[in-house]
Structures are given as C-alpha cells and as structure tokens.
Amino acid sequence: MQDTPNRPYHHGDLRRAIIETALEMLRAEANWQFTLREVARRAGVSHAAPYKHFPDKAALLAELAMIGFDRLREALMKAKPEASRSLLEEITPIARAYVAFGTDNPALYRLMFSAEEGRAVGMHLNERALAVFEVVLEMLGSGQAAGNIRKRPIRGQAAAVWSLIHGMTMLAIDGLLVPEKVGSAPLDAALSTLVEGLEIPQPNT
Amino acid sequence: MQDTPNRPYHHGDLRRAIIETALEMLRAEANWQFTLREVARRAGVSHAAPYKHFPDKAALLAELAMIGFDRLREALMKAKPEASRSLLEEITPIARAYVAFGTDNPALYRLMFSAEEGRAVGMHLNERALAVFEVVLEMLGSGQAAGNIRKRPIRGQAAAVWSLIHGMTMLAIDGLLVPEKVGSAPLDAALSTLVEGLEIPQPNT
DNA sequence: ATACATTGTTGACACTGGCTACTTTGCTAT
DNA sequence: ATAGCAAAGTAGCCAGTGTCAACAATGTAT
C-alpha cells in the first residue's frame, strides 16, 4: 500500500496493479493498441513481470474485458432509479450511464466487444455480456407487467434498446454524434423516439 | 486481369489492384490487423511497391474507409424501394442491406468508424459518413411530409435510426445478436419497435 | 539457520512491420 | 537508337513485441 520508494522485489499485489494500470490506459487513450510491455512499463515493473501472473497476453485481455462488463453492470444498477413515473424517466439515466461508461473507457469498451480469437473467450464473455443484457430485460418485463409497455416479444424490444444504446455509445466514442459539446441532446432525442415505440400510445399524442 | 505468371515489372494498375486486394482481405477476415506488407504479398508485388502509390499506411487506410462509405451508400440506395405503403416496408430493406454490408465487410466497417489519428482524417470521413446519414434524413423528411411520421425534430429521429442500425451491425459483426443462424429475426423485431416510435400511432394498436 | 517456492529482473531470440535508399526494368518521346 | 522517367524490385534499417530462460531477492516453513 505505502509507496516506499525502493521496492524492487515483491511488489505486493502486482496482479491487481497490472490490471488497474491497464484499465487506466484503456480509459485514457481512445485508440490504444494494447501491449504488455507498455503496461509493465507504466506499472513500474520489468517487461517480463506480468508473466508471473498471467499466462499470456490474451489471458490479461480476457480478464480486463470481463471486469469491464462487471463495471458496466454496476454503473447501470447504480444509475437505475428506484421509483419512476414513466418509462422515459426510468430508461434515461440508465442509458446516459451506459454511454458515459463507453466514452469514459473507450478502448475498454471496444475491447469488451471484440470477438477475439476463437470462440472460447467469446463464450465466456457472453455470460458477462448477458448479465448486462438482463438489466434491459428486467426493465422491460416489469414495464410490461405494469402495463406501460406494449405487449410485444420482449427479446425483440430488448434488441432494439440494446442496439440503440450500443450504437450511440460506439458513435460517441468515434466522435460522430454526441461530440461532447452537444451534450446529451442527441441521446435524449433518440431515447424519446425509442420510448415512444415501446410505450403504449396515449390518446394525447 | 489474366495472371501471366511472369509480370515482375509494370503491373499496369497496381494502385487499383492494391485497393481491391485490401478490400478483399477486409471482407474475408473479421479481425484482421492491417499490414501493408501482407497486402503487397497478396497482391503479388514486393513489400515496398505500395509506397509508389500511397505516401504511407494511413493514406491507404483513409482511402479504403472512404470507398467503404461510398459502397455502403450505394448499397442502401439500391435497396431502397421505389414505392412503399408503410414506413416499415420502406425501412426494412434498407436496414437489412446496411447490416448485411457490415457483416459482409466486418473489418472494413470497423475501419470506417475508427477515429484514427488526429482529426483531419476524421473530418474527411465525416463528409462521406454524412452522405450515408442523409439517406436516413431524406427518408424521414419525406415520411413527415407525407404525414406518416410524427412531427419531431428530424435530427433526433435520425439519430435513433442510425444508432439502432449501427448498433445492430456492430453487435452482429461481433457475434452477439443475430448470430447468422437466427437470420434477421432480431433485426426485424427491433425495427418494428423503432418504427412504432416513429410512426403516428394508429387507433387500432 | 537452511531449504524452498514465489516473484521479480535481465537478457536474449525470433519475428514483424513501417519505411527508406538504391538498383533494375521497360515504356515513351525524341 | 537512345535518353529519360515512372514504376517495380532488392536490401536493409530500426523500432517494437511476445515470449522464454536463467538469475536474484524475498518471504516462509522446517
């Protein structure tokens, strides 16, 4: 914990330090090509040290992606309001938190959704990704039960919600749409349109 | 065109050949890290030959991205039906063509939306990207004029449409959602939800 | 105290990739 | 014919990167 200036050996918890350094770099630079050596450099250890904690580069990458999904899910849960009168009121803070996570961690977000070699990793990732997806499913399910949302197949509606938010996040990361000075205006506008497709239409439209 | 086995010098139209080779590779392999040397290899020329036609790697990349946007726009225009009774009928083939373009050219599509160093390239790309965006704007504009679409700020609706389709395309490329055996079911379902948010609600809903 | 496992360091290897001379080829214009 | 020039080839530099093997330091168990 304390940073005694000379601590050449036995860092203490290098594994965690490496992960956090990597996460920090994935947050700071939008287009960063991940290299083990640079992570080690920034963590203040030798270039081979990470191999004592991770079998290879892919393993670290996979772990980072999983942590990303976990953190994203936490951010969404935290943003979720307890009570809300309308679907728009419920979905807006969640969507904003989602997009904010993406723009705050651009490289990490891209990593999370990169298929990466083979299917093995992809399958594990899907478990975590599914947990995020389920936040959307729950919201829609309770909305349908409460009678606010049209009775349509939930998976289709969820696909619409997730695709829209994922798309906005990606576009925001890449600098098109929501170029940060516009604020969240396009986000809110798009959300309104989406919500009008989810909600049961009211007479006064 | 013909592959005369010995054609060491003066390829004829190497510039075009390089571009098409690169496009082919960007279509075939989803996760391909672009390297000039491999393009040259596959084009059957020496690894330094491309430098006679492109100042550096970034220039070729930028050109490929622009061609990508042009081809995407062409695909959308071709898919656009002349006459359509409903908004859903109009938007569905366009959206399908969009997603199909993405899944057919996964690496190219990613390249098109990667911010890439600096802003200069990004700005040029934005012109082409804007041309694609305008296909959406036109559709919404004529829909509003015809009285099929709610009178909302068009840019917000367009943001919703583009984000949703872009998001689905990305998810499809990455193997989540629309994993090719499901066909276009999730796509169509999401589109329905979106269209219901765009259209003026009918009494029999 | 001593042996051992852990965790770091150092150094090296094999490879790749972008890029830059310099040379060779072959078309074209005089 | 020949001179010139554009386009392609050859060779190589230089900077990285992932990975491994050998060595050193540190904590821990006997």
Nucleotides of D under 7 A from a protein CB: 7-12, 16-22, 24-27
Pick out the nucleotide with least CA–C1' distance to B34: C17
B29: phi then psi, degrees, rounded to nearest 5 = -100, 125
pLDDT in tens, B42-84: 999 999 999 999 999 999 999 999 999 999 999 999 999 998 8
Q: How far is the CA of A23 from the C1' of D12 (A)?
A: 38
Instruction: Write down the pLDDT at residue A180.
Output: 67
For chain B, give the percent of residues with pLDDT over 90.
Answer: 74
Q: What secondary structure letter does DSSP report for B176?
A: S
- Whether the CB of B53 is less than 7 Å away from nucleic strand C comes out as no
Q: For residue B92, give the H/E element and its range.
A: helix B87-104
How far is C-alpha B156 from the chain's CA centre?
21
- Angstrom distance (rounded) from CA B158 to CA B135: 10
| Beta bridge partners of residue B199, listed in sequence order | B149
pLDDT bucket at B1, cuts 50 / 70 / 90: very low
Question: Position of tokens 């041309």?
Answer: B131
What does the block give as tokens for B190?
């999401």
Q: Which of the four CATH numbers 3.30.310.80, 1.10.357.10, 3.40.50.300, 3.40.630.30 does domain A61-198 have?
A: 1.10.357.10
pLDDT in tens, B148-166: 999 999 999 999 999 999 9
B58-198: CATH number:
1.10.357.10
Q: Report, as an integer, the average pLDDT of A102-116.
A: 91
pLDDT in tens, B108-133: 999 999 866 544 445 566 788 888 98
CB A147 within 8 A of CB A200: yes
What does the block give as tokens for A172?
């925001």
- Whether residues B155 and A196 touch (CB distance < 8 A) is answered with no
CB B169 within 8 A of CB B102: yes
Which protein residue lies nearest to nucleotide C6, measured between its Cα and the C1' atom?
A10
- Angstrom distance (rounded) from CA B2 to CA B44: 13
Instruction: Write down the pLDDT at residue B157.
Output: 96
- Whether residues B162 and A171 touch (CB distance < 8 A) is answered with yes
**Which of B114, B170, B189 is closest, CB to CB, to A166?**
B170
- Whether the CB of A36 is less than 7 Å away from nucleic strand D comes out as yes
| Beta bridge partners of residue B149, listed in sequence order | B199
Q: Under the phi-then-psi rule, with left for phi > 0, alpha for psi from -120 to 50, and beta for the rest, what region is A9? A: beta
What does the block give as tokens for B28?
């075939």
CB B177 within 8 A of CB B168: yes
- Whether the CB of A47 is less than 7 Å away from nucleic strand C comes out as yes
Instruction: Write down the pLDDT at residue A11.
Output: 73
pLDDT in tens, A3-20: 444 455 677 799 999 999
- Angstrom distance (rounded) from CA A157 to CA A87: 13
Name B117's Cβ contacts closer than 8 Å, sequence gap at least 6: A31, B58
Instruction: Write down the pLDDT at residue A77.
Output: 96
Report the b/e string of A4-37 with b at 16+ CB within 10 A: eeeeeeeeeebeebbbebbbebbeeebebeeebe
- Whether the CB of B10 is less than 7 Å away from nucleic strand C comes out as yes
Mutate which of B98, B151, B196 to test chain A, going by most A C-beta atoms within 10 A?
B196
Of the listed ranges A7-21, A27-41, A50-64, the one predicted with least confidence: A7-21
Instruction: Write down the pLDDT at residue A124.
Output: 63
Three-state secondary structure call for residue B1:
coil
Instruction: Write down the pLDDT at residue B116.
Output: 64
A121: phi then psi, degrees, rounded to nearest 5 = -60, -45
Q: Report, as an integer, the average pLDDT of A101-117.
A: 89
Q: How far is the CA of B9 from the C1' of D2 (A)?
A: 21
Q: How far is B54 from chain A (nearest CA, A)?
A: 23
Which protein residue lies nearest to nucleotide D12, measured between its Cα and the C1' atom?
B48
Residue B146 burial (CB count, 10 A): 9
Instruction: Write down the pLDDT at residue B178.
Output: 64
Instruction: Write down the pLDDT at residue B120.
Output: 45
pLDDT in tens, A131-146: 898 999 999 999 999 9
For chain B, give the percent of residues with pLDDT over 70.
Answer: 86
Name the residue in chain B with its Cα closest to that of A193: B197
Q: How far is the CA of A48 from the C1' of C8 (A)?
A: 9
- pLDDT tops 60 at residue B92: yes
- Angstrom distance (rounded) from CA A136 to CA B26: 33
pLDDT bucket at B176, cuts 50 / 70 / 90: confident
Name A120's Cβ contacts closer than 8 Å, sequence gap at least 6: none
Question: Position of tokens 């953190």?
Answer: A71
- Whether the CB of A39 is less than 7 Å away from nucleic strand C comes out as no
